[in-house]
A and B are shown apart, each in its own frame.
Chain A
Amino acid sequence: MKRVLAVTAFTFRELIRSRLLFVWLISVIVLCGLDFLLSILSFGSTLQIFMDLGLAGMEISGLLVLLLGLAVTYTTEMDQKAIFLHLAKPLTRGEYLLGRILGFFLVNCLVVLGMGLVIVGLVVFLGGGTVPVLFYECVVFILLEMFVLTTLGLTYQMIATSMVGVVLYTFFTVFLGQCIGEVQWLLNQQLSHWVKVLLRVVYYILPNLEAFNLKDRLYDPNLVLGWAQWQDILLYAFSYSFVVFLIGWINLEKREFR
């Protein structure tokens, strides 16, 4: 585990010191500004809109940093072959992959929680409002979503043969993962057997990002998250990530570095 943590710290430092955080800072300013503007333009429930859009902004900035981080590190690790030095050390490929995932996730936590703090600060200190408990639960859901996407992104990085491939695969997985609800709806329609089989495969392979979307129900008075819901979402996030990690690990073990 010490070696995994060493890779995690290495990755974290690498990402933090790269220009990714400038991009994040700009995105925070732009998103918060846009958020503020839209909440002013909306009539009534200003803080509600502000928090709603703020949560969306957290998700977007987390995703942005993930995609940029994947692109930057692919160039260093794979194109410039820096990975050779890691893999020639007494470190298993699984440890390397896990360390990278955790390093990326830590940066994502920093990005999402950082923006969350900004939003809470603005709502409480400038707006004089209160932040519902569900807001914090939404943040945890976003972090879980980021964990799943980070595992997927890093797995793609181990499989893909180009930086563009990694970014595109991750981007489209996010896009399609948000459409799982539509796939579920299609499954209930009158369709041919083979189309349904295909849809079912897509349904089970893609991450169900809809499951992490709590922000749309931030002000749903009937929504109270119980232990059962928490258990479900945690189990789903970690089991899905674990399977993806295993696929990435197997691929990395088989991969040749010319």
Chain B
Amino acid sequence: MERTAVVTDSPCAIQIRGLSKTYKTGFWFTPKVTHALKTVQLDVYENQAFGLMGLNGAGKTTLIKLVLGLLRPTAGSVAVLGGNISQRGVRQRIGYLPELPYFSKQHTGRELLGYFGSLHGLAGSALQHRVDEILDLVRMRSAAGLKVSGYSKGMLQRIGIGQALIGKPRLLICDEPMSGLDPVGYKEMRDIFIDLKKAGTTLFLNTHILDEVERVCDRVGILHEGVLKEVVPISKILESSVPVDYWIDVDGAEAAKLSGMPFQETVRNNGGVQVSGLVLAETLALLTARKAQVKGVRPLSSQVEAYFLKAIGAQAHLNRPIGGRRP
């Protein structure tokens, strides 16, 4: 896949300086303070795709809401497209897709897009033309006349991305854009992002789907417990030497040959062993020496996932069996 080079002297689409957010909850006598974000510094460059990764509750959505002006910072500042988010001109050039967008159920998809288009100043035939363009882009033309109440989760997500794109944004901010999408929708959404990036739209994707980050983003920020641990080009992650776990498939009849393996982490009697990438070569050599029939070797995690887990200090995660990927 074509990747744009990370040019750090590009103008900033989002410039965050010393951003902190504290939530105060509870009653007068039992106040509880939660530090959602702690002194975040971040530059998101124009014409690039930036991925913000983090576990649930890391502060990703809080960061997006602060960028959009839906929350006010406790400290620090945010500049968006060289201005303040409260300026109409700045918001005119931004598209936003919230996590699991919710729409008034009484409208059709076409009406919703028309409404959001009119908020961007579109009217008449220009609005209708743009709505049709968007409906085609998100593949919702056939369902455009149906009320939103009859839409599936994936269709809502498509209309959600449609309303975000209706004003031809220079900066597109998406909070978990792949939520609720089936594999086809997932691929289509990813293709939309790649096309937008090629067209020069800056993307800010808030996600914990690491595959999406790897395929779309140029730079990645890792947010953990309100702290931006690091910001790194994706190319650097892919070239990094962070070990990835592998699953070695061995013929089930030869499972006995797996016992007493020096580097094994998990062994299945039906044939297989999980090892770290650091000892993959040694393990394979040992299995060959024992004349075990190796049927295949497959990575259990991606490079991005391994890097992410290492960055947030989740060593335990590196060693745990990864259920979804287990053969």
Q: Is A82 an interface residue when CB atoms closer than 8 A count as contact?
A: yes
Q: Which of B70, B89, B102, B116 contacts A76 (CB 8 A)?
A: B102
The CA-CA distance from A80 to B105 in the complex, in Å, is 12
Question: Are the C-beta atoms of A82 and B119 separated by less than 8 Å?
Answer: no
- Min CB distance A74 to B, Å, is 12
Question: Are the C-beta atoms of B102 and A258 separated by less than 8 Å?
Answer: no
Knowing A6-B118, A18-B106, A89-B120, the reply to whether A258 touches B98 (Cβ < 8 A) is no
Q: Is B107 an interface residue when CB atoms closer than 8 A count as contact?
A: yes
Instruction: List, in ascending order, chain B residues with CB within 8 A of A2's CB.
Output: 118, 121, 123
Q: Is B142 an interface residue when CB atoms closer than 8 A count as contact?
A: no
Most chain B CB neighbours (cut-off 10 Å) among A6, A17, A92: A6
Instruction: List, in ascending order, chain B residues with CB within 8 A of A3's CB.
Output: 118-119, 121
The CA-CA distance from A92 to B120 in the complex, in Å, is 12
Question: Are the C-beta atoms of A88 and B103 separated by less than 8 Å?
Answer: no
Q: Which of B65, B103, B121 contacts A90 (CB 8 A)?
A: B121
Instruction: List, in ascending order, chain B residues with CB within 8 A of A91's CB.
Output: 88, 91, 119
In A148-164, the 8 Å CB interface with B consists of none
Interface residue range, chain B: 20 to 34
The CA-CA distance from A256 to B61 in the complex, in Å, is 13
Instruction: List, in ascending order, chain A residues with CB within 8 A of B111's CB.
Output: 13
The CA-CA distance from A116 to B163 in the complex, in Å, is 40
How does the 8 Å CB contact mask read for B112-152 relative to A, with 1 for contact and 0 for none?
00011011110100000000000000000000000000000
Instruction: List, in ascending order, chain A residues with CB within 8 A of B65's CB.
Output: 257-258
Question: Are the C-beta atoms of B91 and A90 separated by less than 8 Å?
Answer: yes
Q: Is A14 an interface residue when CB atoms closer than 8 A count as contact?
A: yes
Interface residue range, chain A: 20 to 34
Q: Is B40 an interface residue when CB atoms closer than 8 A count as contact?
A: no
Question: Are the C-beta atoms of A88 and B104 separated by less than 8 Å?
Answer: no
In B154-196, the 8 Å CB interface with A consists of 163, 167
Knowing A2-B118, A85-B98, A86-B119, the reply to whether A76 touches B104 (Cβ < 8 A) is yes
Question: Are the C-beta atoms of B23 and A14 separated by less than 8 Å?
Answer: no
The CA-CA distance from A258 to B105 in the complex, in Å, is 22
Q: Which of A7, A9, A89, A256 contacts B91 (CB 8 A)?
A: A89
**Minimum CB distance partner of B115 in chain A:** A10
* B residues whose Cβ falls under 8 Å from a Cβ of A: 23, 65, 68-72, 88-89, 91-92, 94, 96, 98, 101-107, 111, 115-116, 118-121, 123, 163, 167
Q: List 21 A-B contacts (CB under 8 A).
A: A2-B121, A7-B119, A10-B104, A10-B115, A14-B107, A17-B107, A18-B106, A81-B98, A81-B102, A82-B102, A82-B103, A85-B116, A88-B94, A89-B91, A89-B119, A90-B88, A90-B92, A90-B119, A91-B88, A92-B88, A256-B71
